[in-house]
Structure 1
Amino acid sequence: MRFVLLAAFLVCGLVACQQATWESTMAAAQHAVQQGNYAEAERLLLVAVRKAEEFGLHDRRVAVSLSQLAQVYAGQGKHVEAEPVYLQALKIYQEVHGEDHPDVAATLNNLGVLHRMYGQYAEADPLLTRALLIKERLLGPEHPDVALGVANLAQLRVAQGQPERAEPLYRRALNIREKTLGPSHPEVAKTLDDLANVLKKLGRREEAVSLEVRARELRAARS
């Protein structure tokens, strides 16, 4: 009995040690990202992936590590490297959580943004739309994460040359952010500028200028 308890203690100690090592590696990678040292962050995250795999190839920690690695790839403009890593993380998240989960929505959103950045609008559209639908189901129609999803879809519409479809999306994102973040939040000012840009494309310059003035006033009030 004493041997069994000792063995169990050693196993638990090993798992705790592995967890601490994985966490410390992830923390170091995040610090490298904050310092703008993407090469070091990439190296550390590759180590973190290997450490996470010690818990099992389909453990959520593997997906977390992969997601961070994909973001670092994307931040360096490595689209070819980032996409399959995001897809691998997405597969694990779906296996662990099912289809309706914040991790799944976030990864779909990141994949959609990645495709948009590289002009792959047909691929980006269903990903961003699906991510938004999941967020709405989980969080309700008025939540900051929903506003982010709406704004990302609006940005895609602008990139597609469809400002008339982007306008109602930006207005919805603005309304949510004003309600949930407060009228003076930086994201409100950013959304005002984005909406103003759309209005200019639609030939409504006077409306656009008034929004830009409001955005500048918000920023000045916070400085």
Structure 2
Amino acid sequence: MALFERQAAERERDLGPDHPDTLSSRNNLGGAAQQQGRLDRAVPLFERNLADAERVLGPDHTDTLTYRNNLAGAYEAAGDPARAVPLYIDALTGRERLLGPEDIRTLGCRDNLARAHELTGHPARAIPLHERTLAARERVLGPGHPDTLLSLTNLAYAHHRARNRERSAVLFAQALANGERHFEPGRPATRHVRELLGHVRSG
């Protein structure tokens, strides 16, 4: 993290606190702090960065949308997914408008929002988001891509949490079959399916 701290400090000194490169470095520093579990450091960095980006770049700039998504992720990691939800919604709306509904960054943000809904006890709100992401990934990436399998698994688990047990079982069976067809047993995509299926069966 020391490298990110030095880079952020140097850019703020040489370019000023509002330069886009300074904002990018501060975002990287926040990400490094979050990876190390320093959420007490990460959250204020992301909060400051988003406020500065909204003021300097505008609320709909692609970088601003990234910083908004990252702040939401930090709130979620800090155990406050309810605070993350409106930020994810704003970031997703902006990315759908500027980047399109099937851009990889849009799909990732939609995944994030769906997960936050599940964490706040609203899996029914996550289901249509997972369905849209799955359909997009099947079209763009194909059924044999790890991200497509992840979306199918996420949808199955959301149905499980919403107590749609029959639909969940069908989707998990499909995910397991797809994983075994397209991936080796030790691949992360296949392991993820098996781990979730084991969790569902044990619960």
Equivalent position amino acid for 1:45 in 2: F
- For 1:158-184, what per-residue CA distance to the aligned partner results, in whole angstroms no more than 9, with x for missing partners? 111111111111111111222222222
Structure 1 match to 2:158: 198
Query: How much has 1:113 moved relative to structure 2?
Result: 1.7
Name which of 152, 161, 176 aligns with 2:112.
152
The question of whether the paired residues in 2 share the 8 Å contact of 1:48 and 1:65 is answered with yes
Q: Specify the SS of the correspondent of 1:128.
A: helix
Structure 2 match to 1:32: none
Structure 2 match to 1:218: 178
Query: How much has 1:81 moved relative to structure 2?
Result: 0.6
- For 1:69-121, what per-residue CA distance to the aligned partner results, in whole angstroms no more than 9, with x for missing partners? 11111112211110111122223333442111111111111111221222323
Structure 2 match to 1:70: 30
C-alpha separation in 2, matches of 1:95 and 1:189: 39
Equivalent position amino acid for 1:92 in 2: D
Query: How much has 1:46 moved relative to structure 2?
Result: 0.6
Equivalent position amino acid for 2:36 in 1: Q
| Structural RMSD (CA) | 1.7
Tell me the TM-score normalized by structure 1: 0.75
Q: Which has the larger radius of gyration?
A: 1
Structure 2 match to 1:114: 74
Identity score, percent: 31
Name which of 30, 49, 63 aligns with 2:8.
49
Q: Specify the SS of the correspondent of 1:140.
A: coil
The question of whether the paired residues in 2 share the 8 Å contact of 1:52 and 1:65 is answered with yes
1:139 lines up with 2:139 in the alignment? no
C-alpha separation in 2, matches of 1:101 and 1:136: 13
The question of whether the paired residues in 2 share the 8 Å contact of 1:155 and 1:166 is answered with yes
Q: Which runs of 5+ in 1 are unaligned?
A: 1-41
- For 1:101-143, what per-residue CA distance to the aligned partner results, in whole angstroms no more than 9, with x for missing partners? 1111111111112212223233212111111111011012332
C-alpha separation in 2, matches of 1:118 and 1:49: 23
Relative to structure 2, which stretch is displaced further, 53-62 or 199-208? Answer: 199-208
Tell me the TM-score normalized by structure 2: 0.82
1:88 lines up with 2:26 in the alignment? no
C-alpha separation in 1, matches of 2:138 and 2:40: 37
- For 1:8-48, what per-residue CA distance to the aligned partner results, in whole angstroms no more than 9, with x for missing partners? xxxxxxxxxxxxxxxxxxxxxxxxxxxxxxxxxx1000110
Equivalent position amino acid for 1:215 in 2: A
Q: Which runs of 5+ in 2 are unaligned?
A: 185-203
Equivalent position amino acid for 2:8 in 1: V
The question of whether the paired residues in 2 share the 8 Å contact of 1:131 and 1:149 is answered with yes
For these two proteins, the number of residue pairs brought into alignment is 182
C-alpha separation in 1, matches of 2:177 and 2:24: 39
C-alpha separation in 2, matches of 1:99 and 1:137: 13
C-alpha separation in 2, matches of 1:153 and 1:202: 16
